[in-house]
Chains A and B, each alone.
Chain A
Amino acid sequence: MKLLEFTSNGIYCSKADVYLDPWRGVKKALITHGHSDHARWGSKSYITQTDNVPILKHRLGDISVTGKNYGDKFQINGVTFSFHPAGHVPGSSQIRVEYKGEVWVFTGDFKTQDDKISTPYEPVKCHTFITECTFGLPVYKWEEPKIVHEQINNWWAENKSNGVTSLLMGYSLGKIQRLLKNLDPEIGKIFTHGATEKMTEVLRAKLDFPKTSLVTRDTSKKEIEGNIVLAPPAVLGSVWARKLGITSSGYASGWMAIRGARRRRAVDRSFVLSDHADWDGLLSAIYSTECENVITTHGYTDIFARHLNGLGLNAVSEKTEYEQETPETENPK
């Protein structure tokens, strides 16, 4: 019996009778992070990293959840578990599972860049590494985040000088706060959409962010003009967005690295900024775990596994229900 198995409910540890990021309700679930494809509703009890507890409660409502600090080891039926920083979004973890000297690590989602709001990724040595590979294709190579944030601030400043409002979109947990953290409040006022503002409020408990104002029914176009509005991607083309007046729309996502995806998204400006590891990030993470076996879960799983095999690793892909294969499934979360 393998330490972790892929079942119809999710990744399962039979020795401890717990699931990692299950996609159906189970008795006990260990959760890597708060995105809806990893933290699903319906389990009896949840265990996650401390910073993720308020996020989970905000997303899933009244649940039974226990928090653990990064690196704290705890036992379930003789199996040792611990959470380690994944650098994906605030409160995100990799889960380390150890039984009789055998170590497995499940990444959930992760990135190797430091986004200034999440605890930075730390490699964890293991025998078997279960990894996401959302961007497991060599065409994905990220710029330094500093350069991208500069591009965003320049875009905002230019729009402002033309009397145009900037509408900047990204998903609600992680991306929006990362964008917010790096906006230059000297340029103007920062407005937000209700859907993203709630999550930002939750995170303000632990993190410092520039001041934001919620766009309400009473907010006038005049007030917003030339300023920036942060919102989830779903608002593009909506009545809500039209009410903002003349806007230039921007979208921040790793998928924007490809021209076809940019054109499909049909925004005025796209920024290549991702909370997932790029090709080089994935490879360096794998090497630093010193693992022998790799299981690829979501993204370009087959291609990435085949490449790892070519590099002499023992890699296979497994089917999961983490929905990340294309830009189209990157829904506002």
Chain B
Amino acid sequence: MRKFSILIKTLDSTNKTNLKVEALSNYFLQSSKKDMLWAIALMSHRRPKRPMTNKLLRQWASEESNLPQWLFEESYHIVGDLAETISLLITQDNSSHKISLTDCIEEIISLKDKSDEEKKKYILKRWKCFDNYERFVFNKILTGGFRIGISQKLMTRALSKALNIEEHIISHRLMGEWDPQSTTLEKLIINPDPKDQLSKPYPFYLAYPVDLDLFSKSDVGEWHIEHKWDGMRAQLIVRGGNFYLWSRGEDLITKSFPELKILSEQLPNGTVIDGELLPFKDGLIGDFNTLQKRIGKKNISKKDLHENPIIIMAYDILEIGGKDIREIALFERQKKLEAILQKYSTINSPIRLSKYMKFENWDQVKKERKSAGKKKSEGLMIKRKNSKYEVGRKKGNWWKWKSDPKTIDAVMTYAMRGHGRRTNLYTDYTFGLWNDGELVTFAKAYSGLTDKEIKEVDRFVKQNTINRFGPVRQVKPELVFEIGFEGVSLSSRHKSGVSVRFPRILRQRHDKKITDANSVEDLKKLLV
């Protein structure tokens, strides 16, 4: 635990990528294989089940630090991180504590069946025996969300250095669902048994936002251009007679989409397809909202299947006959995908081919992008015809060119303190639109401003607070912002009666007064 917390402290205290990788690979080289596996798990967001609620932790921490609950909560709001707040408020005693990362996590896991009293006793003991950073790391393991500025990419690079295995192989071996309790470093990374690999997905290849220079620099003929479907990215695997469906976040989502199971009977074994889950009914692609009704639902009823059926729009094939074909050129893969779908699927199969389009010049491409909304896509994908299927987000061969967002001018009405790097600054804003002479809340947004702009708005919030509700401040309606969003739909849950998807701040409209802001009526006009 000591070593791991020193690692986290080191990673925290530098901004230089090379130093981070070095610290990580040194840690890997110096720790036991078990600790190493848990460290990898934690840093790739796999953590033991939470043994108690945050509410209990907050209660115990405020008791132990001798502070009234409200003061503990205020501190928490200002620090912006529960694990850190607790680590700052508890004082270390001089009990000894040497314990390995693995043993500590196993203790945490074993709390599951204990009573609250026993849990409390254990947690307090640990809190007091650790130093500040160990306590912070311990709390992070307890509360989850282990975000410490280490990307999967960085960790993979360090592992590659420590184990002398190529990065892309490590990425692949770390994919999917695995649990340090039931596997070993040996089985997972160093020497995996092919039999255990049946369900394992390939790392997704992700596109970069388009670089407009592309158009002047290259011939449109070099590119494979298709619509960017507005659904949920997924990888479909048919192996050994079984069918697995993985989300981009590496969750196994097979059970949520039972209508796709039939593909395991239709497609040959050893087939892996990359595509987009889309709502699809009566031959038409539906709205993202329809898909949202299905995402996250574990028990799918007949009604769901009937009302909101889903298909997969296939755009790439990564494995045929059990052979990894990610290295061959995209246009070759595309031909194979087309052939397989033609041979094995029928008109009723829940799978479609995402067709690429032929263009004479970039102007035609631009025109096509404009019509994306009508085709239920959110823009275009531009992929180099001879590109292989790479790992992660890489610049150069795959680009996404999203449609311009819809926009509206709204008034800031509330502000809340941010988290993490933006702790203690008012960065999360609520926006209102006019309705019968009143400002009605229609969206919250927190991205899109630069640090400097945030600082200015933060100052405004502090000087123009009308009311305080815990971490939230109601502010004088004065600032107007242009808000961008992807789609609008009617909603009974929102006061305005309308909900927008992925709202974000595009810019502050210094040139507009609040009376110039838009109304709910204006927003409704954007409903398709």
Interface residues of A (CB under 8 A from B): 137-139, 141, 257-264, 266-270, 300, 302-303, 306-307, 310, 325-329
Contacts of B422 in A (CB 8 A): 260, 264
| Binary interface encoding of chain B residues 322-337 relative to chain A, with 1 for a CB under 8 A from any of its CBs, else 0 | 0000000000000000
- B462 CB to nearest chain A CB (Å): 6
**A257-B88, A268-B13 known; A137 vs B75 contact (CB < 8 Å):** yes
Docked CA distance A327–B424 (Å): 8
- Cβ–Cβ contact B80 & A137, under 8 A: no
- Cβ–Cβ contact A138 & B15, under 8 A: no
What are 19 of the A-B contact pairs (CB < 8 Å)? A137-B74, A137-B78, A138-B89, A139-B85, A257-B88, A258-B423, A259-B84, A260-B420, A260-B421, A263-B421, A264-B421, A264-B451, A268-B15, A269-B13, A300-B74, A300-B78, A303-B74, A307-B68, A326-B425
- B421 CB to nearest chain A CB (Å): 4
User: Is B149 located at the chain interface by the 8 A CB criterion?
Assistant: yes
User: Is B374 located at the chain interface by the 8 A CB criterion?
Assistant: no
Which B458-483 residues sit within 8 Å CB-CB of chain A?
A: 458-459, 462, 468
Contacts of B70 in A (CB 8 A): 306
Contacts of A328 in B (CB 8 A): 425, 455, 458
Docked CA distance A270–B12 (Å): 10
Contacts of A300 in B (CB 8 A): 74, 78
User: Is B71 located at the chain interface by the 8 A CB criterion?
Assistant: yes
- 13 more A-B contacts (CB under 8 A) besides A139-B78, A260-B81, A260-B423? A138-B71, A138-B75, A260-B79, A260-B80, A260-B419, A263-B12, A268-B15, A268-B16, A269-B13, A307-B68, A326-B424, A328-B425, A328-B455
User: Is B357 located at the chain interface by the 8 A CB criterion?
Assistant: no
Docked CA distance A325–B420 (Å): 18
Docked CA distance A302–B71 (Å): 11
- Shortest Cβ distance from B88 into A: residue: A139
- Cβ–Cβ contact A266 & B458, under 8 A: no
- Cβ–Cβ contact A261 & B423, under 8 A: yes
Docked CA distance A137–B423 (Å): 14
- Cβ–Cβ contact A262 & B12, under 8 A: yes
- Cβ–Cβ contact B88 & A263, under 8 A: no
Contacts of A141 in B (CB 8 A): 88
Interface residues of B (CB under 8 A from A): 12-16, 65, 67-68, 70-71, 74-75, 78-81, 84-85, 88-89, 149, 419-425, 451, 455, 458-459, 462, 468
Docked CA distance A80–B237 (Å): 85
Docked CA distance A327–B468 (Å): 21
Contacts of A326 in B (CB 8 A): 424-425, 458
Contacts of A259 in B (CB 8 A): 12, 81, 84, 423
Contacts of B455 in A (CB 8 A): 328
Contacts of B425 in A (CB 8 A): 264, 326, 328
Docked CA distance A302–B462 (Å): 13
- Cβ–Cβ contact B14 & A260, under 8 A: no
**A258-B424, A260-B81, A261-B423 known; A307 vs B71 contact (CB < 8 Å):** yes
- Cβ–Cβ contact B71 & A263, under 8 A: no
Docked CA distance A264–B65 (Å): 28
Docked CA distance A270–B15 (Å): 12
- Cβ–Cβ contact B462 & A325, under 8 A: yes
Contacts of A139 in B (CB 8 A): 75, 78-79, 85, 88-89
- A320 CB to nearest chain B CB (Å): 12
- Shortest Cβ distance from A266 into B: residue: B15
- A287 CB to nearest chain B CB (Å): 16
Contacts of A262 in B (CB 8 A): 12-13
Pick from B89, B422, B424 the residue with the most CB of A within 10 Å.
B424
Docked CA distance A328–B89 (Å): 23
- Shortest Cβ distance from B84 into A: residue: A259
- Shortest Cβ distance from A326 into B: residue: B424
- Shortest Cβ distance from A267 into B: residue: B15
Docked CA distance A302–B12 (Å): 32
- Cβ–Cβ contact A303 & B71, under 8 A: yes
Docked CA distance A32–B419 (Å): 35
Contacts of A138 in B (CB 8 A): 65, 67, 71, 75, 89
- A249 CB to nearest chain B CB (Å): 9
- Shortest Cβ distance from B67 into A: residue: A138
Q: Which 6 pairs from chain A and chain B are nearest by CB?
A: A260-B423, A139-B88, A263-B421, A264-B421, A303-B74, A139-B75
- Shortest Cβ distance from B65 into A: residue: A138
- B482 CB to nearest chain A CB (Å): 24
- Shortest Cβ distance from A260 into B: residue: B423
Contacts of A269 in B (CB 8 A): 13
Contacts of B468 in A (CB 8 A): 302
- B295 CB to nearest chain A CB (Å): 31
Docked CA distance A328–B84 (Å): 20
Docked CA distance A262–B13 (Å): 8
- Which single member of A137, A263, A303, A329 contacts B420 (CB below 8 Å)? A263
Docked CA distance A7–B81 (Å): 37
- Shortest Cβ distance from A155 into B: residue: B13
- B419 CB to nearest chain A CB (Å): 7
